[in-house]
A and B are shown apart, each in its own frame.
Chain A
Amino acid sequence: AQSVAQPEDQVNVAEGNPLTVKCTYSVSGNPYLFWYVQYPNRGLQFLLKYITGDNLVKGSYGFEAEFNKSQTSFHLKKPSALVSDSALYFCAVRSGTNAGKSTFGDGTTLTVKP
């Protein structure tokens, strides 16, 4: 079975400060990891993914994520937060042995205050 944990329901940061949204996973075999963002009343938008290679992955809107195999984590980061980054963020994992089915975390609401 595969699972994802996003331990924080809410993350609050001030505009201009760095942000981190945490994600840990459990999966059999090699993990394929994804971050998505959801704005109110909208579908999810893809931000970035880790398949293989460099542990630091860069994605859309200045976001990046660091894959840490020993800690089974894939935390989302941004050096300088914007108010417009305020949204719901989902981490997802898919196993190479379970093609197609992604398991999503419960989401973390990011609020960036001016």
Chain B
Amino acid sequence: NAGVMQNPRHLVRRRGQEARLRCSPMKGHSHVYWYRQLPEEGLKFMVYLQKENIIDESGMPKERFSAEFPKEGPSILRIQQVVRGDSAAYFCASSLTAERGVYEQYFGPGTRLTVT
């Protein structure tokens, strides 16, 4: 049973380019979460999605960032016109269900984005 998959593991982009980060949840999981971890900092919540729905995007920057979790295929975190401050590790997690907060989240290995 494969865990949460993220690709690419490492991504280098020049300022102004777009970054696309992919996350495939664990089999049977329909809830996906994205977190950002800046160097020497903790994990910051970005967005929580179910299939075809954004449930909570309170942690997403207002501009340039978007996320989707289509009916088919992986969840995508998209960062347009990247800037150096976007350099970070981006982690995806999935869970069976988020209702009543019972289930733990399973994390992927992360995508390390470097903006040059």
Residues of chain A touching chain B, judged by Cβ–Cβ distance below 8 Å, are 32, 34, 36, 41-46, 49, 51, 90, 94-96, 98-107
Contact = CB atoms under 8 A, between A and B. Distances in A.
Nearest to B56: A101
A100 B41 contact: no
Contacts of A49: 104
Contacts of A41: 110
B109 to A, nearest CB: 5
B100 A96 contact: yes
16 contacts: A32-B102, A36-B107, A42-B109, A43-B109, A44-B91, A44-B93, A44-B107, A45-B107, A46-B104, A46-B105, A95-B101, A101-B33, A101-B45, A104-B44, A104-B45, A106-B41
Contacts of A99: 98-101
A3 to B, nearest CB: 12
B69 interface: no
A51 B41 CA distance: 27
Nearest to A52: B102
B59 to A, nearest CB: 8
A1 to B, nearest CB: 10
